[in-house]
Amino acid sequence: MKRILEVCVESAAGAVAAQQGGADRVELCANLLEGGTTPSAGSIRLARRSLHIGLQVMIRPRGGDFCYSAMEFEIMKLDIEAAGAAGADGVVFGLLNEDGSVDEKRTRELHGLARPMSVTFHRAFDMSRDPFESLDSLISIGIDRILTSGQDASALEGLDLIAGLVRKAGDRIIIMPGGGITERNFGRILLESGAKEVHVAALAMVEGPMKYRNPLCFMGGELRPPEFDLLATDAGRVRAFVRDLQAAAIAL
């Protein structure tokens, strides 16, 4: 059984590193510190120009929850059109109602707008009130896959629910584990979930290029990442995940 490795990246350079490491597909985002938001048009176009593997684009107008205003919803529609025009193979989004149920009406509208691109419902699913009710809603809409940590802090902790979702979903929708997956727990999650696709972030901290560094000033809020270090996709870590994926395929 062919298993798919999707790597979450924050830049076109990260997308290239994921490809060099052997990833099957990337999910391009901005602002991973907030869980990912929509990347710039330039990032999407340069990533597409640089890749021969699949390119999924995050459609999320802001951080925070997944209950969007009318204006935010219009932004999402425009961003889906822009992603398609830039050559994306798929888009990734998630919308919930105030009560924690899937916003079926607007999800259906975005799904129709996105076609023929692939559509993933992201980890908004993990904030929904009832995972199996949400699963049924997304199947009825025709969503291609769900990215989930099993409604827990990580895919390892949510593994029992993920396995249950995989069993219930069957061939009707892809359940893709993601969230806190590392080289140490990757094999167990593959084995026990039965998932055909897996989502990882193979990141490493690298030093930024600045030589002059003003110690008195910083950008952003008080809780902040190091000012002169960058999180970058590590091709070596991607290769480690690919080796485990190949080993799992042989074991089956």
Domain edges within the chain:
4-251
- Is the per-residue pLDDT at 224 higher than 70? no
Rounded Cα–Cα distance for residues 143 and 88 (Å): 17
Least confident of 48-57, 116-125, 208-217: 208-217
Q: How is 178-242 classified by DSSP, letter by letter?
A: BSS--TTTHHHHHHHH--SEEEE--EEEEE-S-SS--TT---S-SS---TTEEEEE-HHHHHHHH
Regarding the domain with residue range 4-251, which homologous superfamily does it belong to in the CATH classification? Copper homeostasis (CutC) domain (3.20.20.380)
Q: Given 3-state DSSP classes, what are the helix, strand and coil percentages for the chain, each rounded to the nearest 5?
A: 40, 20, 40
CA nearest 192: which of 145, 134, 248?
A: 248
Whether 18 and 11 have beta carbons less than 8 Å apart is answered as no
Mean pLDDT in residue range 189-202: 96
User: Mean pLDDT in the chain?
Assistant: 94
- Is the per-residue pLDDT at 63 higher than 80? yes
The first and second tokens of residue 73, run together, are 């919803």
pLDDT for 127-186, tens place per residue?
999 999 999 999 999 999 999 999 999 999 999 999 999 999 999 999 999 999 999 999
pLDDT for 16-58, tens place per residue?
999 999 999 999 999 998 899 999 999 999 999 999 999 999 9
Q: What is the pTM of this model?
A: 0.91
